[in-house]
Amino acid sequence: MTDKKLIGVDLGGTTIKFAILTAAGDIQQKWSIETNILSDGQLIIPDIIDSINHHLKMYDMKADQFSGIGLGSPGTINFKEGTIKGAFNLNWKDEVYPVRDIEAGTGIPVTIENDANVAALGERWKGAGNNADDVVFVTLGTGVGGGIIANGQLLHGANGAAGEIGHVTVDPHGFMCTCGKRGCLETIASATGIVHVARDRAGEYAGDSELKAMLDDGQDISAKDVFDLAKTGDDLALIVADYVCDSLGFALANIANSLNPKYVVIGGGVSAAGDFLLNKVEKAMRANEFATIKDSTEVRLASLGNGAGVIGAASLIK
C-alpha cells in the first residue's frame, strides 16, 4: 500500500463535500461548499478545482502527495470518456468533462462514479459493509438508489445500470413510477413513495389515527412523520410502515436470493427510522429467503451517514 493520500469528492445538488484521506481510508481533513447550479451548472467544476487547490495550499500539501481524486456525481457516467450527462439537479444539460478538467486544474488523476455507487463503496469499505467482498447497498431518499459489490468489485452491468434497485418491480399493478412502469420499489419505499402510500391508504381508512387526522386536515406530512407515528402505535401509520417494509423486504430478499451477499445495507434519509424499520424489513426478508441466505446474508443499517460519499469516492483510487 502506498503512503500517498486520497481525495474524495461527493457532488450533490445542495453541497459538495470534500475529504482528504489516508490510503487506509481514515479521514484527515474534511470540508464542504455550496453547489452553485446557476449558469447551467458551469461553475461547479471550476469551484471543485479552486476548493481543492485552496485547501492543499492551506494544508501545505502538493499534488504529488496524492494518488488520486475520486468523484461521486449524479447523472449518467461515461466511464471510457470520463464524462457525465443528464445530471438534471445540477442543471447540467450538456455533457461535462470532470476527469479532463479537474486533472488539468489540480494535476491529480481523477476517477468518477455515480453517487449511489460511491455511497455503496463507502459503506462497504468503512461502514456497515465491513469490507466484505459481497455487499448490496440500498439508499432510501427522495428516490431509491443502490449499488452492488460482488467478488469485491462494484458492478456496472452492460450499460451502467447495475445496482439501480429502485426500479425493481414489487407490484406489477402498483403505483405508476416516473420511469414509466408500475410498482417500482421507489414508488413505495422512497420518502415520496411513503407519503404516497400514506395518502392512498388514508382514503380507505375509517379508524382512529393521528396520521389520518393530519392528512384529512390538509397538513403536509413526511416519511419521518409516518415512521414517528408508527412507533407510537398509530394504527394507519403502522399499516403504511408494514406495507413499506414488507415491500422493501420482498425486493431485498430476492436480490439476496440471487446474489447471496454477506451484507445488505440500508441507508438514506428514511433509514433514520432505525431499528424499528430494520426489524420489520428483516422479518419480511426472512419470510422470502431460502435457508442458505437466511443463514449467511445479514441486513444492517448504514453507519456512515453523509460521510459515505467522500469515503466511497476516495476508495475509487485504491
Nearer to a second copy among residue 81 and residue 216 (C-beta): 81
Q: What would you measure as the largest C-alpha separation in the chain, in angstroms?
A: 67
**Residue 125 makes contact with a second copy by CB under 8 A:** no
- Other C-beta atoms closer than 10 Å to the C-beta of 279 total 12
Residue 212, helix vs strand vs coil: helix
* 196 within 8 A of 174, measured Cβ to Cβ: no
Least Å distance, CB 292 to a second copy, is: 4
* Residue appearing with cell numbers 422512497: 190
Residue 85, helix vs strand vs coil: strand
Q: Give the residue, chosen from 168, 188, 221, 240, that forms a contact with a second copy under the rule CB under 8 A.
A: 168
Least Å distance, CB 135 to a second copy, is: 10
**Residue 155 makes contact with a second copy by CB under 8 A:** yes
**Residue 91 makes contact with a second copy by CB under 8 A:** no
Least Å distance, CB 2 to a second copy, is: 24
* Residue appearing with cell numbers 407490484: 171
CA dihedral of residues 314, 255, 176, 309 (deg, nearest 10)? -10
Q: Give the residue, chosen from 36, 67, 89, 260, that forms a contact with a second copy under the rule CB under 8 A.
A: 260
Q: Give the residue, chosen from 181, 216, 274, 283, that forms a contact with a second copy under the rule CB under 8 A.
A: 181
| H or E stretch covering 122 | helix 115-126
Helix then strand then coil, in percent of the chain rounded to 5, is: 45, 20, 35
| H or E stretch covering 47 | helix 44-58
Q: Mark the segment that binds a second copy (CB under 8 A) among 64-72, 77-85, 107-115, 153-161.
A: 153-161
Q: Mark the segment that binds a second copy (CB under 8 A) among 43-51, 99-107, 131-139, 301-309.
A: 131-139
Q: Give the residue, chosen from 109, 160, 269, 305, that forms a contact with a second copy under the rule CB under 8 A.
A: 160
Residue 38, helix vs strand vs coil: coil
* Phi, psi dihedral angles at 268 (to 5 degrees): 90, 165
**Residue 173 makes contact with a second copy by CB under 8 A:** no
* 121 within 8 A of 316, measured Cβ to Cβ: yes
**Residue 254 makes contact with a second copy by CB under 8 A:** yes
Q: Give the residue, chosen from 150, 276, 278, 318, that forms a contact with a second copy under the rule CB under 8 A.
A: 150
Residue 155, helix vs strand vs coil: coil
Could you report how far apart the first and last alpha carbons of the chain are, in Å?
Answer: 9
**Residue 262 makes contact with a second copy by CB under 8 A:** yes
Q: Mark the segment that binds a second copy (CB under 8 A) among 20-28, 32-40, 147-155, 235-243.
A: 147-155
Nearer to a second copy among residue 142 and residue 257 (C-beta): 257
**Residue 295 makes contact with a second copy by CB under 8 A:** yes
Nearest-Å Rg of the Cα atoms of the chain is 21
Q: Which residues bind a second copy (CB under 8 A)?
A: 132-134, 148, 150-151, 153, 155-165, 167-169, 172, 177, 179-181, 184, 250-251, 253-255, 257-262, 287-293, 295-297
